[in-house]
Structure 1
Amino acid sequence: MSTPYSKVFHSFLGKITDYTYESYTDEELGGDLTSLLNSSIVEFDYPKVDIRDKDDDALLFNRDLGIDEIEILSFLMVERWIERQINNVELVKQRFSNKDFQYTSQANHLDALYKNQERVQKKVTTLKTKYSYRQTGSSYYKPDYSGLSKGD
């Protein structure tokens, strides 16, 4: 009754293109992905499975994660990864004046990263909202609207 981190990592890596990961050793890659995962866990509000019950040394969750938890965590990892890319470009931007920066491709790249981050944030919000209404167990496919007003 456990889920290896590799399931979340595989889902995350399928959503991005980062050729720098090719130069990483397995240990470096695992450490970087675990760091992104831990940052993502903090952002996952009210999971139905205790995703904090995990072992970073063995690289596994001590609980069974469903496809919903894996998908939300992987998109949260994408969010953290884009944030890292933006922070990296911001450092480059600080080295140039505004005029110099406007003429380089970094300005366009940074703008694209911001737009992509906004798109991913909307996707994560949608996934979390749908997830919050989904019941568990035998009534899994029936949404739970019990917390909503009855319109009285």
Structure 2
Amino acid sequence: MILFIEIIIGIILFTILIVPRVLKDPLSAIGDYPPQIRRRCVELGLVEDRKKRFSKKEMLRKCLCMIVLPVVFALIMYKINGTTSFVSGFLQSYIIWLAITWYDAFILDCVWFCHSKKVRIQGTEDMSEYKDYLFHIKQSCIGSALGLPVCLIVGLCVSLF
């Protein structure tokens, strides 16, 4: 039951971090848009052409999360869940990670992003790529894989407490 509550809290926090930013300025999340939409934004002069998908600022934000999350997860696993073993810390944190990742894929991306006109960037409204469900599923598979090292660190931290 605790794990379920933690998943719900994680989903709420994730939504609070993502949705207002994208609603305020969809271009702030351009690195998360399908490649064809990113290219059109470059053609329209809305964003700079860059070799890398994410800007330095976006990468810094993502790296900071990859550093902070293991510490937060480890403390939660140890203090709230009473987890003391590597395996338990890893598995519980990875279950939370996967739940949030797939919530992002199916609810935020495939339901909200693919169908909301509020996240459409001016000049790209006509593009069918907004409904590229496969793009979002592939990105979530990558997100699931990125959770492995984070949650391995959580397991390690928990076992050291």
TM range (shorter): 0.3 to 0.5
What TM-score, normalized by structure 2, do the two folds share? 0.32
Higher relative contact order (CA 8 A, sep 6+): 2
Q: Which has the larger radius of gyration?
A: 1
Structure with the largest fraction of helix: 2
What TM-score, normalized by structure 1, do the two folds share? 0.34
